[in-house]
Amino acid sequence: MVTYKPVRRLLMAALCSLAVTSAAARVQPARDTFKRSAELGKRTAKTSAAVDKYVTQLDKTEQALSSVSPAQDKGSKKRYQSFSKEVNKLERAQKHATSDIDKMKSTGTEYFSSWDKSIAQMSNPELRQASAEQRSKIMKDHDELATALSDIASQLQPFMSDLHDLKAFLGPDLSPASVDRAGEMILKSQADARALKDKIAGVQTTLRQFLSEAPK
């Protein structure tokens, strides 16, 4: 007598295996998205801290620059050395800030791509629609923040170039006449520093807001 029980068992095992594989395939994108969400949060927090540090150093550099002028023979070398040291620190802060901005942007791209895959795995149309709308909103906020940060980053290097020019010009000759000749560039750099701080202040607020509203 032929029995079909072994065949039935094999079929049931195959169906169970398929169900487990299918469930795992649907869970993985969600896990990926959760992980990348945490990574974006960390990256954004790190970027916010780096921008804050740059602004603090920008204040110190502007103060050191202000002490170089008006020209005075007494203590001019010490004031110039202080200015030179603060410029070097500002350059390091700039490199950290721009690097963190780039990493935050790339992490965001990976996060939204992963979220898109997670949405594609949803079978419930209402949940899929709600998740897509949430993704669209947060992606818009992230893109606007990334654009603002990129705009600021593009202005840092020209400003730094002017500071390096002042260092190179004043280094060999700190006489009152030399400092007076650099006066126009000093005033321009001070104005540029203030304009940068004003512009960055808005982005700092946006960074903190994005951190508070983004998925955890």
* Tokens 């960390």, residue located: 42
Nearest to 114, CA basis, from 131, 127, 102, 94: 131
Give the alpha-carbon dihedral of 210, 198, 43, 119, to 10 degrees: 30
pTM for the predicted model, two decimal places: 0.81
Predicted confidence at residue 56, as pLDDT, reads: 97
Q: How many CB atoms lie within 10 A of CB 43?
A: 20
> Along the 216 residues of the chain, how does pLDDT read in single tens digits?
444 455 555 455 444 443 444 444 455 656 777 888 889 999 999 999 999 999 999 999 999 999 887 656 677 889 999 999 999 999 999 999 999 999 999 999 999 999 999 999 889 999 999 999 999 999 999 999 999 999 998 999 999 999 999 999 999 998 888 888 999 999 999 999 999 999 999 999 999 988 887 766
CB atoms within 10 A of CB 193: 21
pLDDT at residue 18, rounded to an integer:
39
Rounded CA separation 98/50 (Å): 9
Closest to 114 (Cα-Cα) out of 197, 215, 23: 215
**C-alpha dist (Å) from residue 144 to 30, 111, 131, 138, 216:** 25, 16, 20, 10, 20
Specify whether the CB–CB gap between 141 and 72 falls below 8 A: no
- State the Cα–Cα distance between residues 17 and 22, nearest whole angstrom: 9
The pLDDT value recorded for residue 75 is 77
Closest CA to 166 of 35, 32, 69: 69
Burial of 2-22, coded b for 16+ CB within 10 Å and e otherwise, reads eeeeeeeeeeeeeeeeeeeee
